Every structure is written in C-alpha cells, then in structure tokens.
C-alpha cells in the first residue's frame, strides 16, 4: 500500500481512539470530575484530530474540529467555565465530530444543518468569555516579531519589488547569547543566506574581549553580509532569521536604500513566525490577528521558568500516580487468528502423539513419555498466552453505548442515565465482536419498552430519570453480562396472552413467573404492537438468544413488575479451548466441560430412587438430585442401563441447579480445542460444540445446561440408531430450531 495511504488508515484508526477518549473525558466532566488533566486530554483529542485532518486536507473535518478545539481551549485555559449546559453541548458536538470523521473516512455526508448549528453554538460558547475579540490572544508585551503574517499575501505589500533583476540586500547580523542558547548556529544561518544568492561576508570581531575574559557561551561576533540574488526579496532574506529574531540585532537594508540609523533592536513587523506552506499560512491567516506596530524596545517578559518546571514536574508526578499504560503494539488480526489456529492444531497434534506413544506401550517414566509431558505443558502455556492475545476489554463494545443511549433517549422522549461497570473485563475478541448487536438490541429494548416516560415514572414515585445498567464480570470461568433497567418490568399477563394468541403455548398451561418471562425468547414472539423504528424491524428476542447461543452462551431474564428487568448473559471466556472430561455414553465419546462438574461418583443401588413413572433421582449426601441418562436424552439409546454399572457426574448448571449425569465410563481429562458445529452445520440441541480427539475422530462437547433438563430432548431420531429413511424429526418441545424439511 502506498505509504501515505497506509498512514491515512492509521489516522482514521487514531481518530476513533481520540473520539473514544473525547467522549470518556466529557462524560467524566459531566459526572463532576474537575481534574484539569481530563480537560487537557479532551482538548488534545480534538486537537489531534484536527492536526491529522489538516495533513490530509479534509476540509470539513478541519473546519469543525477547529471550532470545537477553540471552545475547548477556552475551557482548558479557564477563560470560560464548563457548566452542565456547556458539557451537554460538547457531548453533542463530539457526536457531530464523529460523524465528520466517518464521513471523511467513508466518503459519506454529514447533516450540514446540524453541524452548522453545533459550530455556531460552539463559537458562541467560545466567545462567552466576553472578550469577543478574535481567537488568538495578544500577548501585548511587544513581541510583534512573532506575529504571523501570510508571506504569500505580503509579497507585494511590504517591500515594493521594483525590478526582477539582481537585487542586493545588506544584512547586519549581531547574535546575542540567547540565540546560541537555543541551539541556533550563526554559521548555519549564514549558510542559508548563501542559498539565496551571491554572498560576501564581513566579520566584525570588534566585540571580542581578551581571551581571559572570553565567555564561551556569550556572543561577541557580528557579521555584515551582502547577498545578491535574482528577484530577491527582503521577505526571503528575513525568513532566514525568522527564529532568531529577538535574539539578535538584525538589520536588513536593500542596497540603494538609505542606511538605517544606529543599531538598535529594530524589529520588523513582517518577520515570520511560521511555516511557509501556503495552505497553512492561509489557514493560519484566518486565525491570526494583525499585530499592532511593536514597541522599539524589546522588553523581555519573565516567563517564570521556575513555575513552568514545577508544573511540568507536577504533571509528571500525577502521570506516574495514574495507571501506567502498558506498552502495546498493533498486530494484524489475521495473523493472530492464524496463530491461534496453528496453536489449536498443535494441541491436537500433541494429543495425538501422546496417544500413539501410549499405544506403543512405552513406559510412563521413559524419556519419551517424560518429554511428551513437557511438551504438553509447553503447549498448554503457549495456548494460554496466545488466547490472551485476543482477549480484549469489553470496553470496546461498551463505549458506543453512551451515545446510543443519548440518541434513543432523545428519540423516545425519555430521560435515561447509563451506568456501566466492569468495562475492563476481558473477553476473547471473537466473542466481543458478536456481542455488539445483541447488546445494542437489548439496550434499545430497555429504554424503548422497559423504561416509562418521565411523567409516568414520577407518578409511580420513581425519579424522572430512568437508569439502565450494563455490567460485565467474570464468574466461575465464564463472562457474565447484565443489562438491567429500573422500568416497569415485564407485563406477565400480556406476555402470556400474546404467547397464547400466537399459539406458542396452550391456554391452560401453568407456567411459573420465570417461565412466562422467558417466553419472550420464543421464535415468533414480539410484543411491540407496532414495529417501532427503534427496537422493531421484526427482530425479536429470539434472534438475540440465538446470537448468544451461537457464541456458546446463555441468556436469562428476571423481572419484577413495576421495578424493572434484568437480562443476564453468560458466555464462555474464550471460544477456543475447554478443559473437559472425556466420557463414553452408549458407545459414543463425549466431552463434558470440567467447570460444570463438581464430582464424579459410582452410584450405589441404595442411593438411586424413582420419582414418578419415568424419573430417577440419586441421593448425594443430604440432598437428592435428578439422575439423567444422557444416552437417552441424546437419543443414543432407548433403554437405560442400571446406574450402578456406570458413573454419575454431579454437575451444576448456570442457575445453580444440580443434576447427576449418567455415563458409561470416564476416559480421562483433557484440554480440548473447541470446534464449531455451526460453522458448517448448525446448533444441535444438547451439544455445545465439537472437538477432535487424539485419535482424529470428532467428539461432541456436551451442553450441560441443556442435558440437565430431565425431560428427553426429543422423542425423535438419532442418525445411527434408527434405520429410518425419514428425513424429518419431530421438533422437540424445548427446541427452538425450525427443522423445516424439503420433500
């Protein structure tokens, strides 16, 4: 890629980061944080965007960010105060800035009216300090030499350039010590002059003291230089000295003009202080103010360097007190994915190798076996490290929500406050990306349907402002994300009625509160009478649940009428590996996630009890848990063997419920690489995913929560056991897969 194009890509990536910083900072300010560092950071974010935008000539973006930056500069310098009103304006401006950035990046357009209005509001805010004058501050201490004037415009103005023939300027240049202190070199300056034309130089060493008194850091020399060039202008000559003006005596006379009077610090008005890039000059011209004629005497204003140093040190102390940001590098995601795939293969290979070696009958203590053990440890470590590479804080998903909430609140006329917790909780990147849509949908739902209007809330004795809370945390080896609102909760009567109307449940079905709440996840369910623009579009909670399930996760809802609802998502930490227990059931090899297994035990006949016509329970210590033949649940067999002949795995599901799963035998524990079933097929009830074992065969990974349910998952057919030519399976009551068959 053309390097400049690559940098442009970088720029837009950086813009996104800056926009995020900007929003975070503004939100902090809105929350009452008065730390000046935050205001500075906010300023820098916009400043940075403007800088880069200028480099790529992104006009609109530069214009808007400039106005924004100006207002922020005023705030950070204390000239104006940032009250809640102002901060709200700044937040909205940040949204518009983001629109500009994206329009610049993707070639779209921005709502011009809104942008214009925002710009005007920002300008008004910036002027609110009553100064009302132009944007740049006037130091007023006579340092007109720093005044910024567009050389391009001044070409004809300052010095009349009579004939474009050879022009000679006589330059008298007497540097002061300060010039050298800033690492300017007379020699280099004089060399610059030689670039302008023919030069003859006269040294004036009359100021040199005796050697003994010579201070090497002081300036004693002066030069008179005659420079002759075609179409040479005074401006060009002066430009050579643009940075040292003020640190030297400089006298430039066109040959033929009257000699200037006695040397004095005569500073010319049109000394430049800046870049000669014309575009930049034009832009800067718009910013700069014309300076009043400078006083002939240079009075140095004391910059209080001591104070500045103090401030710099303070900032440093604060910075180190703050969390030190770790060193990072950017890596192409494809490379990471490839690496993860390779590590996955490595794990499988290592397992296969271990198996083959074991089959060879080598002694456990033989050097080969020991070496293999080491290999396994290493492989595991590599795998952990590689997995960690892809782990990212959920912040990247969460950070778009404040804006979303603002917009939806505005659209629905509700007042909403968003609280976010646990943004630094880390999750595998692949999981994160697929979280965005479901979370967006649920937040929209919460505000649109969950929260009441401000009036209703007040009438109900609640505060006007509704609260939506988004939290992420790790819990028992999984990621848990909660979305809760303090709105009206689920209207159970209505939900039940709708389910009945849509034929999803029987009218006389007796459902618990929780079961009613979870009806909203059923396919074909949608409570919105009108498909609202916000949370409608025919996308229901069933799609959300499917998305979560395809991530290997689970979603639940709990609700309290009048008080609000909470959605709880539970997701695996990483999509890629799992510590599992390999078991045999009805001749099939399955893997049970170790995190769900509490213990394994050999059932004793006395402990196994019947419950009702079909169910069994097993007594474990002082409680009874359901005993489930997963061989039957999965349709591998129709007759359950005696529990005493097998092994029971005591497992615990998401909600804390427990069950004992009957298996024929335990083969061992192994870390397995998770392979998706959905990639090439689709979700299978009772099965979370697949893996490839050491013998190269595919083994299925159990979905513990699904198999824990004591009723059989399906009265239908398993491919291997029933020699049926039918190509339809009766959909299970709990299955949400529409198995529509052709033919």
Site for other proteins in 602-661 (CB under 8 A): 634-636
- Span from 110-118, 301-309, 358-366, 563-571 in contact with other proteins (CB under 8 A): 301-309
Q: Which of 42, 50, 197, 383 binds other proteins (CB under 8 A)?
A: 50
Q: What is the DSSP letter of 257?
A: B
CB 64 within 8 A of CB 97: yes
The dihedrals phi and psi of 355, each to the nearest 5 degrees, come to -65, -45
CB 491 within 8 A of CB 519: no
- Span from 48-56, 424-432, 598-606, 641-649 in contact with other proteins (CB under 8 A): 48-56
Minimal distance in Å, beta carbon 620 to other proteins? 26
Q: Which residues in 165-184 contact other proteins (CB under 8 A)?
A: 180-184
Q: What is the DSSP letter of 380?
A: H
Q: Which of 81, 275, 381, 501 binds other proteins (CB under 8 A)?
A: 275
Q: Which of 355, 527, 563, 588 binds other proteins (CB under 8 A)?
A: 588
User: Judged by CB under 8 A, does residue 138 bind other proteins?
Assistant: yes
Sequence-separated (6 or more) residues with CB below 8 Å from residue 178: 246, 247
Q: Which residues in 8-37 contact other proteins (CB under 8 A)?
A: 10-11, 13-14
Sequence-separated (6 or more) residues with CB below 8 Å from residue 379: 343, 346, 347, 350
- Span from 372-380, 412-420, 567-575, 691-699 in contact with other proteins (CB under 8 A): 691-699
Minimal distance in Å, beta carbon 414 to other proteins? 24
- Span from 26-34, 146-154, 229-237, 383-391 in contact with other proteins (CB under 8 A): 146-154
Q: Which residues in 515-554 contact other proteins (CB under 8 A)?
A: 523-526, 537-540, 542-543, 546-547, 550
User: Judged by CB under 8 A, does residue 148 bind other proteins?
Assistant: yes
Q: Which of 502, 624, 637, 658 binds other proteins (CB under 8 A)?
A: 502
Q: Which of 84, 109, 116, 139 binds other proteins (CB under 8 A)?
A: 139
CA distances from 291 to 238, 243, 405 (A): 18, 18, 47
User: Judged by CB under 8 A, does residue 738 bind other proteins?
Assistant: yes
Q: Could you tell me the two tokens for 638?
A: 């129709």
Q: Which of 25, 450, 646, 685 binds other proteins (CB under 8 A)?
A: 685
CA distances from 308 to 79, 144, 315, 433 (A): 19, 23, 11, 45
User: Judged by CB under 8 A, does residue 435 bind other proteins?
Assistant: no
Count Cβ atoms below 10 Å from residue 483 Cβ, excluding itself. 24
Q: Which of 683, 688, 694, 708 binds other proteins (CB under 8 A)?
A: 683
Minimal distance in Å, beta carbon 602 to other proteins? 26
Q: How many residues bind other proteins (CB under 8 A)?
A: 130
User: Judged by CB under 8 A, does residue 229 bind other proteins?
Assistant: no
User: Judged by CB under 8 A, does residue 194 bind other proteins?
Assistant: no
Q: Which residues in 234-273 contact other proteins (CB under 8 A)?
A: 240, 242-243, 246, 273
Sequence-separated (6 or more) residues with CB below 8 Å from residue 337: none
Helix (H) or strand (E) holding 85: helix 84-106
Q: Which of 282, 610, 722, 733 binds other proteins (CB under 8 A)?
A: 722
Minimal distance in Å, beta carbon 665 to other proteins? 17
Minimal distance in Å, beta carbon 139 to other proteins? 5
Q: Could you tell me the two tokens for 165?
A: 């023939």
Sequence-separated (6 or more) residues with CB below 8 Å from residue 27: 91, 402
Of 249 and 467, which CB lies nearer to other proteins in the complex structure?
A: 249
Q: Which of 156, 164, 305, 413 binds other proteins (CB under 8 A)?
A: 305
User: Judged by CB under 8 A, does residue 723 bind other proteins?
Assistant: yes
Of 220 and 243, which CB lies nearer to other proteins in the complex structure?
A: 243
User: Judged by CB under 8 A, does residue 274 bind other proteins?
Assistant: yes
CA distances from 259 to 162, 171, 262, 275, 621 (A): 18, 11, 9, 30, 111
Minimal distance in Å, beta carbon 515 to other proteins? 20
Minimal distance in Å, beta carbon 66 to other proteins? 9
Of 115 and 735, which CB lies nearer to other proteins in the complex structure?
A: 735
Closest CA to 634 of 727, 717, 546: 717
CA distance 357 to 380: 19
Minimal distance in Å, beta carbon 38 to other proteins? 11
Signed CA dihedral, 533, 538, 542, 548: sign only: negative
Q: Which residues in 309-348 contact other proteins (CB under 8 A)?
A: 309, 311-312, 315-316, 319, 341, 344-345, 348
CA distance 231 to 161: 8
Of 224 and 526, which CB lies nearer to other proteins in the complex structure?
A: 526
User: Judged by CB under 8 A, does residue 295 bind other proteins?
Assistant: no
Instruction: Return the SS3 of 27.
Output: helix
Which residue spans within 88-230 are E strands per DSSP?
Answer: 166-175, 198-204, 222-230
Of 340 and 648, which CB lies nearer to other proteins in the complex structure?
A: 340
Q: Could you tell me the two tokens for 115?
A: 């942008």
Q: Could you tell me the two tokens for 192?
A: 């610059």
Minimal distance in Å, beta carbon 366 to other proteins? 29
The tokens 């040199």 sit on which residue?
Answer: 208
Minimal distance in Å, beta carbon 55 to other proteins? 4
Residue 532 burial (C-beta neighbours within 10 Å; 0-12, 13-18, 19+) = middle
Q: Could you tell me the two tokens for 471?
A: 């939290």
Q: Which of 430, 687, 709, 710 binds other proteins (CB under 8 A)?
A: 687
Minimal distance in Å, beta carbon 303 to other proteins? 4
Minimal distance in Å, beta carbon 146 to other proteins? 5
Count Cβ atoms below 10 Å from residue 261 Cβ, excluding itself. 8
Count Cβ atoms below 10 Å from residue 162 Cβ, excluding itself. 9
The tokens 């929560």 sit on which residue?
Answer: 705
CA distance 712 to 632: 7
User: Judged by CB under 8 A, does residue 677 bind other proteins?
Assistant: yes
Q: Could you tell me the two tokens for 726?
A: 């039918």
Minimal distance in Å, beta carbon 453 to other proteins? 26
CB 100 within 8 A of CB 61: yes
Minimal distance in Å, beta carbon 275 to other proteins? 4
């Amino acid at each position: 890629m053309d390097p400049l194009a690559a940098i442009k890509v970088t720029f837009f990536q950086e813009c996104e980061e800056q926009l995020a910083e900007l929003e975070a900072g503004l939100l902090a300010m809105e929350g009452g944080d008065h730390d000046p560092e935050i205001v500075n950071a906010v300023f820098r974010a916009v400043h940075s965007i403007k800088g880069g935008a200028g480099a790529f000539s992104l006009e609109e973006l530069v214009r808007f960010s400039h106005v924004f930056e100006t207002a922020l500069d005023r705030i950070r310098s204390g000239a104006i105060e940032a009250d809640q009103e102002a901060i709200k304006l700044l937040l909205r401006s940040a949204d518009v800035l983001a629109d500009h950035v994206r329009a610049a990046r993707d070639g779209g357009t921005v709502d011009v009216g809104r942008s214009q209005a925002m710009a005007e509001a920002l300008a008004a805010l910036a002027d609110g300090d009553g100064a009302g004058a132009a944007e740049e501050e006037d130091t007023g201490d006579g340092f007109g030499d720093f005044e910024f004037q567009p050389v391009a415009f001044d070409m004809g103005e300052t010095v009349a350039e009579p004939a474009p023939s050879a022009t000679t300027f006589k330059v008298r240049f007497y540097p002061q010590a300060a010039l050298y202190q800033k690492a300017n070199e007379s020699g280099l300056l004089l060399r610059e002059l030689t670039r302008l034309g023919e030069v003859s130089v006269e040294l004036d060493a009359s100021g040199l003291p005796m050697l003994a008194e010579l201070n090497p850091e002081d300036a004693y020399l002066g030069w008179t230089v005659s420079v002759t060039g075609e179409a040479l202008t005074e401006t060009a000559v002066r430009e050579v000295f643009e940075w040292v003006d003020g640190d030297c005596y400089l006298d430039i006379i066109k040959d033929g003009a009257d000699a200037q009077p006695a040397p004095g610090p005569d500073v010319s008005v049109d000394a430049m202080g800046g870049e000669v890039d014309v575009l930049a000059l034009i832009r800067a011209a718009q910013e700069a103010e014309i300076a009043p004629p400078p006083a002939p005497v240079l009075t140095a204003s004391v910059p209080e360097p001591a104070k500045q140093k103090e401030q710099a040190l303070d900032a440093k102390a604060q910075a180190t007190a703050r969390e030190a940001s770790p060193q990072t590098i950017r890596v192409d995601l494809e490379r990471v994915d490839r690496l993860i795939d390779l590590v996955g293969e490595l794990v499988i290979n290592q397992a296969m190798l271990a198996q083959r070696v074991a089959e060879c009958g080598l002694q456990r203590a033989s050097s080969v076996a020991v070496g293999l053990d080491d290999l396994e440890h290493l492989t595991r470590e590599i795998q952990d490290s590689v997995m960690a590479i892809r782990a990212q804080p959920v912040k990247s998903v969460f950070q778009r929500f404040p804006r979303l909430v603002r917009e939806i609140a505005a659209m629905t006329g509700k007042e909403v406050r968003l609280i976010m917790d646990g943004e630094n909780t880390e999750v595998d990147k692949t999981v994160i990306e697929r979280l965005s849509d479901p979370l967006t949908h649920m937040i929209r739902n919460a505000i649109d349907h969950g929260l009441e209007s401000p009036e209703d809330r007040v009438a109900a004795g609640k505060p006007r402002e509704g609260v939506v809370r988004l939290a992420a945390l790790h819990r028992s080896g999984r990621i848990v994300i909660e979305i809760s609102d303090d709105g009206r909760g689920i209207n159970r009567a209505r939900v039940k009625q709708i389910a009945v109307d849509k034929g999803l449940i029987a009218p006389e079905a007796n459902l618990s509160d929780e079961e009613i709440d979870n009806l909203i996840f059923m396919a074909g369910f949608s409570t919105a009478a009108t498909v609202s623009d916000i949370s409608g579009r025919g996308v229901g909670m069933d799609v959300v649940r499917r998305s979560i399930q395809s991530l290997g996760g689970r979603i639940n809802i709990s609700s309290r009428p009048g008080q609000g609802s909470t959605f709880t998502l539970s997701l695996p930490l990483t999509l890629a590996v799992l510590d599992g227990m390999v078991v045999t059931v009805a001749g099939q090899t399955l893997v049970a996630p170790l995190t769900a297994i509490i213990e394994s035990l050999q059932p004793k006949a006395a402990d196994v009890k019947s419950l009702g016509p079909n169910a069994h329970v097993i007594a474990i210590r002082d409680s009874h848990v359901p005993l489930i033949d997963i061989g039957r649940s999965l349709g591998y067999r129709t007759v359950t063997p005696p529990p005493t002949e097998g092994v029971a795995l005591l497992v615990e599901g998401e909600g804390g419920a427990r069950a004992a799963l009957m298996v024929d035998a335990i083969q061992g524990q192994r870390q397995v690489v998770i392979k998706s079933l959905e990639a090439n097929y689709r979700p299978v009830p009772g099965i979370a995913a697949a893996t490839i074992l050491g013998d190269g065969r595919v083994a299925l990974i159990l979905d513990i929560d699904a198999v824990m349910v004591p009723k059989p998952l399906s009265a239908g057919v398993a491919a291997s056991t029933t020699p049926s030519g039918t190509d339809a399976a009766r959909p299970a009551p709990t299955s949400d897969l529409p198995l529509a068959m052709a033919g």
